[in-house]
Each structure stands twice: as C-alpha cells, then as structure tokens.
Amino acid sequence: MIAIIDYGIGNLRSVHNAVRFISPQTKSIVTSDPDAVAKADKVIFPGQGAMPDCISQLEKRGLKESVIEAAKQKPFLGICLGLQMLFETSEEGDASGFGLLPGTVKRFQLNKNERIKIPHMGWNKVHLSNPHPMWNKIDSESRFYFVHSFYAEVKNQSLVMATSSHGEKFTCAIAKDNIFAVQFHPEKSSELGLQLLKNFISWNI
C-alpha cells in the first residue's frame, strides 16, 4: 500500500490520480493518519506552499514523527516541498526541515547575466547526474514540470541525482538509501512523469 501524505495544503488529488491511472491495482490512499503512514509499504510526500506552514500542519496532525520514520526506512518519494523538507534549514521564514540530509533551502536570486522569472514555472531540462532505478526509461535532458521559488543546496554531492538550471544550476533530484526526491512535479509532467511514478511503484530497496 502506498500512503500519500495529506497535511492539508495543496493539490494532492493529482498525485493520487496519477498513481491510480498508471497502476489501478496498486492500493493507494491519501492520508493524514500517522498509523496509516506507519503501516504503508511506500510513502509519497508531495508538497506545495511554504516550509513553515508545512511543519506546523504536520505537527498539528501529529504526522511529523511518522513521516520522518517513514523517510528513514521505507521507499520514500518526496515531491517539490517534499524534497526541501528533508534538509536542515530554509531561508523561507527561517524554518527548519526534518534535518535528514545535510544542506539548506535557498530562494532563487534575480541576476544580471540571465533574465529569470520567480517562481521558476514550466518545463525545464533535467540533467541526470547519477544512475538510479528511478531513472528507468527516462533520458537525461528530458523536460519535467517545475513550479517553485526555493531549491535545496545540497552539501553532499553524492546525493545529487539530477540538476537543472534557472539562472544558476540547482539540484532537482536527490537520493539516499530508501529516499528519492524530486523538485519537479512528476504528477504534472505527462508521460515521463508517469514513468517516474511507475518506477517508484516497482522500486525495491
């Protein structure tokens, strides 16, 4: 069973719709119940909005511990804010994340060399930096859909699975043991996004 974490913010329907579309036989639920998260075989942690809100909503629902526990043991897919939450701190409201991975979350900066818009919104190229079962049938330089103003600055480069570029190069996928997380939205990235979710369903650690 796949548990999709619901902390009351954002459009979780689309992640659930996508999982059901590619694999109707896989049991999946959208839940804010810590016990359901504890019982799940795999966990998807999608995110939207701001890190401080996410933390307070998780705490309000008594979910924070169970999500951290899941991220320590089970196949765990973080999406967007769900990637950023894995790190230590964020410039966004000076919030703290789960602190499972070393690094900080920063905001894109306007720069003189290249005109960029913030939020970084749209389809950007993803450069695969390391092989991973989650990249099955996905080529380097494929485009995925992004929408975010913050990104993770990762200390340990061996965790970096892919990068993209928006005024500057930034990490857009990371992996460590049972964790895989992407800054883009696979549930909104058409065929290739669905392929990534399929890879998660069949990923055995």
The answer to whether residue 23 forms part of the interface with other proteins (CB under 8 A) is no
Nearest to 180 by CA among 155, 203, 198, 148: 203
| Rounded-to-integer distance, Cα 197 and Cα 186, Å | 7
Alpha helices in 40-186 (DSSP H): 51-60, 64-73, 81-84
- Among 58, 120, 170, 181, which residue interacts with other proteins (rule: CB under 8 A)? 120
| Rounded-to-integer distance, Cα 83 and Cα 124, Å | 17
Nearest to 164 by CA among 85, 90, 108, 99: 108
Interface stretch with other proteins, choices 67-75, 87-95, 118-126, 175-183 (CB under 8 A): 118-126
Smallest distance, other proteins to C-beta of residue 204, A: 25
Report the site for other proteins in 132-191 (rule: CB under 8 A). Answer: 143, 145-149, 164-166, 187-190
Smallest distance, other proteins to C-beta of residue 144, A: 9
Please identify, using beta-carbon distances, which residue of 66 and 142 lies nearer to other proteins.
142
Smallest distance, other proteins to C-beta of residue 178, A: 25
Q: Quote the DSSP letter at residue 75.
A: -
Structure tokens at 121: 């919104």
The answer to whether residue 201 forms part of the interface with other proteins (CB under 8 A) is no
Q: Are strands 2-5 and 28-31 parallel, antiparallel or unpaired?
A: parallel
Kindly list the catalytic residues.
80, 185, 187
Size of the site for other proteins (CB under 8 A): 40
Other Cβ atoms less than 10 A from the Cβ of 122: the count is 12
* Structural element, H or E, at residue 20: helix 13-22
The answer to whether residue 193 forms part of the interface with other proteins (CB under 8 A) is yes
> 3-state DSSP call for residue 178?
coil
- Among 18, 51, 95, 196, which residue interacts with other proteins (rule: CB under 8 A)? 18
- Among 1, 13, 136, 156, which residue interacts with other proteins (rule: CB under 8 A)? 13
| Rounded-to-integer distance, Cα 130 and Cα 114, Å | 27
The answer to whether residue 205 forms part of the interface with other proteins (CB under 8 A) is no
Contact residues: other proteins, CB under 8 A: 9-11, 13-14, 17-18, 20-21, 48-50, 110, 114, 116-125, 127, 143, 145-149, 164-166, 187-190, 193-194
